[in-house]
Amino acid sequence: MMYRVAIFLISLVLFSPPSWSAQKFYDDDPQMTETDPENAQNVEGWEIDLVYDLAENLFTRPGDKTPNVRAQNVNTIDEVPDSSWFTNRAGTIQITPADVAKGPDTTNGPSDGEWTIIAGKNDGVTPGFTIEDSAGRKWFIKPDPPGYPAMSTGTEVAVTKLFWALGYYEPETHIATLKVDNLRIGEKATVKAPSGKRRKMKMSDVKNMLRRAEKNPDGTYRVIASLALQGKPLGGFRFYGTRPDDPNDIIPHEHHRELRGYFVFAAWLNHVDCKAINSLDTLITDNGKSFVRHNLLDFSSALGSGSIYAHDYWEGYEQIVEEKSHIGKDAISFGFLIEPYRTAPFFLSRAIGRLPSNYQSWNPDTWLPRATNAAFVRARADDKFWAARKVMAIDNDMIRAAVQSGQFNDPKSEEFLVTALAERRDAIGRNYLTAINPVVEPVLDDAGALTFGNAAVDAGFAKAPQNYQAIWYSFDNATGQSVKIGETSAGGARIQAPAGLAMDAGSFIRIEISARSAEYPSWETPVQAYFKHVENEWKLIGFERMQ
């Protein structure tokens, strides 16, 4: 008897594993949180070279060469789980304008009293330094450029708040007032001279630095104060590949949806300087275990601000190096090939800088950062759809709250920014929510009624389609095979299941949902919704907008 049992078990082991490992869904799907279980204590910092990074992204295509790859860090319902990269906020949880105005802030900014400078600023074109306030907290300080009071600092704060609302890890930022008399140079403070040599910092260095800053009438300086991020700085993250010494970093960055979707957010906020060195990985250790957190920072070249000047006209329209074909055509055109930004209307003010003022026909797909990156160029329609829903979740009151947190001190400019961001947001929704099948959030009740939303129609960017179609399948989770049950359709976003829907506990069904719209033929490509019958109800366990 024991012998037969053993033979049976051996057979089971030999022949069963393929079917076990091929299953599409697990009981814990969809994953809403991704943890970092491995200890990343041995991750080393690196310094990304600006010139190499720009050249690599402008002239080559780093990362995975496979075309049209679906984002690999999405869960089974096509969403990005909370992780050390991203936290779902707008569009997922309820946030208010007050939440946006607060953003990542946990304090009221640097404390009054003496500020001890502990380091000069090593990179970027903006003058700045690092201080320790009287409470012992470390802050990075940057002023506004001459002639533009509030532009750079206000932009940094407002955009930080919005990127926080969208879900990224951000440093806490405040507008603060720098009084030169309250500054003290720390014993260990050094500065990198233009020659590249590092030496002890002197007060004359600070004063020379501040000559490139906008000075208030009372002799103080308005500055941005960014609280040092938690953990040990490791340098920026690249937009392709993985950090080879981080065990938890297993998905190539170009296949992260939140990094692909970053393109849409950058386009919305005209954040043209979204290069790798404007990110920062930090090593956070808790109870002896370490993980890497991935932060975005430095938004002073967003909206109308070019950080040390108002944005040039071409910013957002072109990269710093144009397409070769464009250069050739323009070279032989004798200057009569006129780019759109040469004639487009712009809003310009000392408070916010320069930003296009008309978004009637603005297409975010034509927007370009100074230099693109590997994640941006791989963003697919489903990545942009995901990002567009996040952007659409930021309502006008939230935008106003973020803009007001920038304290631009110019009501006309602030009003323009609120309007411009609302119009850019709507252009993003209009373009990306309509580009592919916009069916969202399907729900199947026990009576077999399938209801869902239409993100494009619900946002008012498209008319309701003529009808919706659903093709119903029973789905074998072990083999991935589907067997058609039937087809049903309806004029609205509620479709009844055909007869014969299995209601057994643990059974799966797959539904292909498409829409027929004369205006948007792409909606006929169905989305795939997977439901599992658990605890006497249908649970959405899978969703695929694009294969």
**Residues in region 151-210 near other proteins by CB under 8 A:** 193-197, 199, 204-205, 208
Determine, following the binding rule CB under 8 A, whether residue 322 of this chain makes contact with other proteins. yes
137 burial (CB, 10 Å; 0-12 / 13-18 / 19+) is middle
Residue closer to other proteins, measured from CB, 3 or 218: 3
Do residues 162 and 394 lie in contact, with contact meaning Cβ atoms separated by under 8 Å?
Answer: yes
Give the C-alpha separation, 74 to 30, whole Å. 9
Closest CB 288 distance from other proteins, rounded Å: 16
The token pair at 201 is 């910092």
CA max distance for the chain: 96
Backbone angles phi, psi at 241, to 5 degrees: 65, -170
Closest CB 415 distance from other proteins, rounded Å: 25
Do residues 453 and 540 lie in contact, with contact meaning Cβ atoms separated by under 8 Å?
Answer: no
**Listed ranges 7-15, 129-137, 282-290, 530-538: which one lies at the site for other proteins (CB under 8 A):** 7-15
Closest CB 113 distance from other proteins, rounded Å: 28
> Among residues 320, 449, 502, 503, which is the contact residue for other proteins, using CB under 8 A?
320
The interface with other proteins within residues 229-288 (CB under 8 A) comprises 243-250
Q: How many residues bind other proteins (CB under 8 A)?
A: 72
Burial pattern 4-34, b for ≥16 Cβ within 10 A else e, equals eeeeeeeeeeeeeeeeeeeebeeeebbbeeb
Residue closer to other proteins, measured from CB, 76 or 525: 76
Closest CB 13 distance from other proteins, rounded Å: 5
Closest CB 316 distance from other proteins, rounded Å: 14
> Among residues 273, 318, 383, 410, which is the contact residue for other proteins, using CB under 8 A?
318
Amino acid identity for residue 215 in this structure: K
**Rg of the chain (C-alpha set):** 27
Do residues 7 and 54 lie in contact, with contact meaning Cβ atoms separated by under 8 Å?
Answer: no
Residue closer to other proteins, measured from CB, 102 or 232: 232
CA atoms within 13 A on the CB side of 225: 22
CA atoms within 13 A on the CB side of 518: 1
Closest CB 326 distance from other proteins, rounded Å: 8
Q: Which of 270, 238, 257 is nearest to 366 (CA)?
A: 270
> Among residues 6, 203, 449, 534, which is the contact residue for other proteins, using CB under 8 A?
6
Give the C-alpha separation, 50 to 52, whole Å. 6
For 304, 497, 538, the CA distances from 475, given in Å and listed in that order, are 52, 15, 13
The interface with other proteins within residues 86-125 (CB under 8 A) comprises none
> Among residues 49, 123, 519, 537, which is the contact residue for other proteins, using CB under 8 A?
49
**Listed ranges 90-98, 315-323, 385-393, 433-441: which one lies at the site for other proteins (CB under 8 A):** 315-323
**Listed ranges 118-126, 255-263, 340-348, 379-387: which one lies at the site for other proteins (CB under 8 A):** 340-348
> Among residues 42, 363, 366, 466, which is the contact residue for other proteins, using CB under 8 A?
42
Amino acid identity for residue 68 in this structure: N
Residue closer to other proteins, measured from CB, 96 or 333: 333
Give the C-alpha separation, 160 to 296, whole Å. 9
Q: Which of 309, 440, 423 is nearest to 358 (CA)?
A: 423
Closest CB 484 distance from other proteins, rounded Å: 27
Q: Which of 252, 248, 281 is nearest to 35 (CA)?
A: 248
Give the C-alpha separation, 170 to 431, whole Å. 28
> Among residues 98, 331, 449, 503, which is the contact residue for other proteins, using CB under 8 A?
331
Closest CB 343 distance from other proteins, rounded Å: 7
Residue closer to other proteins, measured from CB, 14 or 499: 14
Residue closer to other proteins, measured from CB, 1 or 499: 1
Amino acid identity for residue 228 in this structure: A
**Listed ranges 269-277, 332-340, 419-427, 485-493: which one lies at the site for other proteins (CB under 8 A):** 332-340
**Listed ranges 93-101, 175-183, 341-349, 361-369: which one lies at the site for other proteins (CB under 8 A):** 341-349
**Listed ranges 14-22, 152-160, 359-367, 494-502: which one lies at the site for other proteins (CB under 8 A):** 14-22
Handedness of CA 84, 90, 93, 99 (dihedral sign): positive
Determine, following the binding rule CB under 8 A, whether residue 314 of this chain makes contact with other proteins. yes
> Among residues 27, 181, 218, 504, which is the contact residue for other proteins, using CB under 8 A?
27
The two beta strands, 527-534 and 508-516, are antiparallel
Residue closer to other proteins, measured from CB, 36 or 170: 36
The residues near 355 (Cβ < 8 Å, ≥ 6 apart) are 270, 303, 304, 311, 346, 347, 416, 417, 420
> Among residues 94, 108, 287, 343, which is the contact residue for other proteins, using CB under 8 A?
343
Determine, following the binding rule CB under 8 A, whether residue 334 of this chain makes contact with other proteins. yes
**Listed ranges 323-331, 393-401, 458-466, 471-479: which one lies at the site for other proteins (CB under 8 A):** 323-331
The interface with other proteins within residues 464-483 (CB under 8 A) comprises none
Give the C-alpha separation, 105 to 102, whole Å. 6
The token pair at 85 is 């990269």
Q: Identify the H or E element spanning 77.
A: none
**Listed ranges 23-31, 132-140, 294-302, 427-435: which one lies at the site for other proteins (CB under 8 A):** 23-31
Residue closer to other proteins, measured from CB, 203 or 483: 203
The residues near 327 (Cβ < 8 Å, ≥ 6 apart) are none
**Listed ranges 325-333, 427-435, 488-496, 506-514: which one lies at the site for other proteins (CB under 8 A):** 325-333
The interface with other proteins within residues 57-76 (CB under 8 A) comprises 75-76
Q: Which of 386, 91, 83 is nearest to 251 (CA)?
A: 83
The token pair at 389 is 């829903």
> Among residues 341, 467, 539, 540, which is the contact residue for other proteins, using CB under 8 A?
341
Residue closer to other proteins, measured from CB, 26 or 503: 26
Determine, following the binding rule CB under 8 A, whether residue 14 of this chain makes contact with other proteins. yes
